Chain A
């Protein structure tokens, strides 16, 4: 079946602009996670959603970052007033239930802030 998909695959933006990154989880997966992978910081957790529960936002690095998940499926990560240090690969993952151990990762969106 289809895996986790993310769009766009690459995004180049100017400093100060807002960007939206999209994640389509595996159908039927109730848990969705965002991570970012950067040269300086490695792989970092950002936020996760489980069903209709309030998301765990504890990994978001600043209030410029926000995410939402509509209808328990698609998620959008928004970065406002982008900075050069936001340049990274943003990864989305999903799991069937929050109790499942395995997270299925998408291919990522490479964000470059110039």
Chain B
């Protein structure tokens, strides 16, 4: 079973509008971390935003916000005021286990990604 599910292979959004990219995850751990990355055509993965499973407030980073619904196991990325430079692949990822203290072994499990195209 997939641990990270991104159901939207591709999406279009008008410039200056907001867009929501969906992500659901599956884990039995209580402690985990959720990430969103952006990958332009150049290939480099760019970190956007992070949400810890124990964080009570939704994470925000500039135009990016994460709509975290723990009971539903969803972590949707919201991009406000889309720009042409936002056109890229977007990946949701989960890190587990998630240790508050000390170094621990972990890996990121990625979803299949959503290709976002911003229309002028």
Question: Do A and B interact with each other, yes or no?
Answer: no
- Residues of chain B at the chain A interface (Cβ within 8 Å): none
